[in-house]
Structure formats: structure tokens, C-alpha cells
Amino acid sequence: MTWEPEIEEIQRRVAFAREMGGPENVERQHANGKLTIRERIDGLVDAGSFDETGVLAGRAEYDEAGNVVSVRPANFVMGFARIDGRRVVVGGDDFTVRGGAADASIGGKQIYAEKMARETRMPIVRFVDGTGGGGSVRTLIEDPHGGGNTGRKAAGYTYVPANPGWDTIVAMLNEVPVVSAALGSVAGLGAARAVTCHWNIMVKDTSQIFVAGPPVVSYGMSEDVTKEELGGSDIHYHNGVTDNLAETEEEAFQQIRRFLSYMPQNAWEQPPRAQPTDDPQRRDNWLLSAIPRDRRRPYKIRQVLASVLDADSFFEIGAGWGRSVVTGLARLDGYPVGVISNDPYYYGGGLTADGSEKIERLVDLCDTFHIPAVNFADQPGFVIGTEGERAATIRKGARALAAIFQARVPWVTILLRRAFGVAGAGHANTGGLNLRYAWPSGDWGSLPVEGGIEAAYRRDLAAAEDPAALRNSLLERMNAVRSPFRTAEAFGIEHLIDPRDTRPILCNWVEQAYRVESTRLGPRTHGYRP
């Protein structure tokens, strides 16, 4: 006697699971421009590396003799896998089984996936499609499993809502990299799971995120909108709900892999260094003219970053929102670094409410996973005026500054041009070492000289016979002392450098930064805020 019959039964049930919601539902998924969960996992991970957990979980139907007739698999697929050789946990909703609704879930598979990642200290990738385990009123009065010999009945009562496993989901943000991809119409709990992460992505036209879908919105708010109008990528890519946007699911997989390449396995380890492919001593001559002499003229910050960072290594995060700030991940001599900079093409690079939130998220990410940060600063200050005040810029800006001052990860600032006021003072934790290198284009102070004259000499200008002449005279006198060389003489700036030396300086710095950070690994005490 052997166990061969049971082995055959396992194989038969695995075959049921691989059918997912059946050919018709799979075809409908494809017709809607979406891959199935199993196709998504195969498209993301290293070939043949997916080791599924809970493959046999499902709702079985038996005949009178007790033999299984069919199995409707659980609508969540998960397991261990490898991405570029590194182990991860990957899991996602199967929309082909009752649209990913909670009434088709089995025994907390989603929660188990989160625990797998936390307990094994591995990154997790979530594919969210549907309600992501959210509620359905059908279970109140119907057998949610469609009849059959399941022995289950309608709930027959309501309940006070809870989010099972949310303690794990929140705690792991301080411990392992968490990635979410919204790959369909994501509502309720699914929407919360899509944003409670370190980085997320949507796919243009096929992804939507909303608290409640169009039918609920129509009833509760008397708004008749389509899914795309309510929560499409055109909305959420520009308000910060999603970090990045992809044209296709395949492109989303590529971006996920790239994001994870900058991350460590967990907060107890350092990010992996890539094989250097760019000369750390490279000096680009065009940097001498990168910053215009005319202080009112903008320049293209991404060209500056491309020249200083390792070639083709800058991975921008949140390009669609908070656009006066540019953030992302990159490499210096192969080492991952976080990047913050200002884009003078938007509000002159001034700090907006959205830009403040963007900085806060990037700083928290770097501090959580021991990624040294470089701030390429050209900060004219908080955006002023009624629009800035209505957006609560000062409160959100204060949060960004708090994140910078809380961060303990190695930090260096390259002062490209301006640093004015409270926002300019937030270029680093100025109470610490405050390692700074300034270009000759540096211009700083409590506020710009031009605007400061209007404030400080308002009465004199009003009483002058020739206000323009007085203004020009004052400006000429102040321009004589605003030179960064005057600041360097007073040791108000530690280094004035040739812009071409920026890359060699940073490549020397980053190696020591990683040595220092290696002595203080582990989760941060203040935690990560999604």
C-alpha cells in the first residue's frame, strides 16, 4: 500500500486551483485588458521560482459518496518567489473568483501572506484587484458560496467592522519593504491596502482606486461618475495616492523590480550595492553652465542629476504630483541613495503642501531602510500667497522638516543655488554635522534680497522722491555682500566647490556613509508613516 491515491488527489486539486474562476471568467479578465493573478506573478518573479502557499484552499463540492466534484479556489494566491535572485513574498487577489470579494476568501490567506513577509523578514509585493478582501452585503442574506454541499449559510446579521491583520500591516512598514500594485478597480479595504506601503503603482486606463465605487457614490453622494472619473490614474497620479504610473502591467512589473533593486531585504540589513558601471571620478564640463547667472531663469534639474549620479540610475518617484520637488532613488558608485531636489520650472522650486508630503515620504523611506540621502537644494522658500495658505503649506512643511530632523541616516546637501527662510533651513538637520557643499551660484538668507528690500525699506521707499533709484542703490549695496565667498569667509558654508567635482565628492562620501550606517541597523523608533 502506498499514498499514491492521495498524491493523485493533491494533483487533481492543484489542477482545480490553476483553473481559477474558470475559462469564461479568465477570458473576461483578458477582455478587460488585465492579466490573471497567476500571469501577474509569473510576469514579475524569476522564472520557476514561485513556491505557492495554500494552493489547495478553496470551497469544495462533494457528491453523495463524499467524493469531490469541483473546487472553487480561494481568490487570493500567494507564496515565496525570487526577484533578481532575492527572495520575496508575493500575493494577489484573483478577480476571476467573485471579483476578488471577501465572501470568496478562505481562512485569512491575505493576512498570512503579510505575516510570512514580516516573520521571514522579506519584501512583499501585493497585487490588488477588486475590494482586496473588503465587504459585500450579499453575505447578509445569501449563501456566499453559491449553494452546493458546503454546509454554509447566510450570515444573517451585521457586524462592527474591523481590519483583520492591520496591526501586522502597519508594523511591517518599519521592518520590510512593502510594494502595492493596483491592477484593477480597487475599492474599500483594497484601496487601503494599495496605499499602505512604501511604494505603489497604477496602470493607465485599467486601474482605479476609490474608497467606494460608482454605485455607492451615486447612492450616497448623488454623483453619477464612471470608474475612471472617480478614481482613475489621471486623478491619483497627480494627487499622490499612487507614486508611479505604468502604461501596461508588464511595465509595472519592470518598475517593481527596479524599485526593489534599491531596497534591502529588511531594516536589519543594508541595501545591496550594484556592480559599478560609471567612473566615480567623472567630471562633466557642462555643469559649469548648468545654473544660469540670471537668478530668475530656471534650468532642468533632471539633467543635473543625470550628470552627477551613476548613469541611468535615477528612478524617480512621484513625478506626477508635488512637482516643485523631485524625489527618487539612484546610485553613486553602485550604492543606492535617496535623492531630493527642487524643480525651478514649478513655483520656482518653492515648497508647496504637496511637495512637503513628497519629501516626508522619501525621507521616511530612506531612514527606514538605511539609504543615505543627497539633497540637491535650490529652495526659494515656502510658496506664499492665498493658494499656499489655503493648502496648509506651513503645517505640511513643518512635517517635512520634522522628518528631516528625525532622520538619522547619513545626509549630504549640495547647495545648487537658493536656500531661503524656514524651508531653506530645512535642507538638512542643521543641528547635526550638516555636511554641505555649495556651488558658486549659491544665494541664501532669511529671504531673497529683492523681496527683503520691499519689506525692510517700505517706509523709505514710500517717502523717496525716486523710489526706483533708492531701490537700485540698496540692491547694489546688498549684492556686494550676498556673494557666497563672504559666507565662506565667515565659515557660514563649509565648502565652495567646482560643480564638476560634485560627483567625485559624493562617490567618496557614499562609501563612508555606508560604513557608518552599518553600525546602526534595525528598525527606527519613530516608525514609517504611509
Supply angle C-alpha 258, 313, 289, rounded to 5: 155
Please report the pLDDT score of residue 84 as a whole number: 97
Residue 398 class from Cβ within 10 Å (0-12 exposed, 13-18 middle, 19+ buried)?
middle
**pLDDT value of position 456:** 78
Give me the pLDDT at residue 132, please: 57
Q: In the prediction, which pLDDT does 148 show?
A: 47
pLDDT tens-digit map of 75-93: 999 999 999 999 999 999 9
| Structural domains for the chain | 4-261 (3.90.226.10), 285-445+483-517 (3.90.226.10)
* Cell 538619522, located at residue: 408
Q: Which three cell numbers stand for residue 145?
A: 458560496
CA dihedral (305, 406, 258, 113) in degrees, to 10, reads -170
| Grid cell of 485 as nine digits | 565667498
Enter the C-alpha cell of residue 202.
497604477
**pLDDT (tens digit per residue) in 194-252:** 999 999 999 999 999 999 988 999 889 999 999 999 999 999 999 999 999 999 999 99
- Report the C-alpha gap between 237 and 207 in whole angstroms: 11
* 3-class secondary structure, 453: helix
* H or E element in which residue 67 lies: none
The pTM of this model reads: 0.92
R_g of the chain computed on alpha carbons: 27
**Distance set, CA 28 to CA 6, 40, 231, 345 (Å):** 34, 16, 22, 44
Q: Distance between CA 210 and CA 297 in Å, rounded?
A: 40
Residue 102 confidence (pLDDT): 58
Low-confidence residues of the chain: pLDDT under 50: 147-151
pLDDT at 1: 87
Grid cell locating 323: 512637482
Rounded-to-integer distance, Cα 496 and Cα 439, Å? 6
Q: Which residues does residue 87 pair with via DSSP β-bridges, in sequence order? A: 82
Q: Give the residue among 57, 156, 168, 154 at the shortest CA–CA distance from 107.
A: 57
In angstroms, the CA 98 to CA 73 distance is 11
Place of cell 543594508: 270
Query: Which amino acid is present at 39?
Result: E
Would you call 11 exposed, middle or buried from its count of C-beta atoms within 10 A (0-12, 13-18, 19+)? exposed
pLDDT computed for residue 138 by the predictor? 65
128 strand-pairing partners? 182
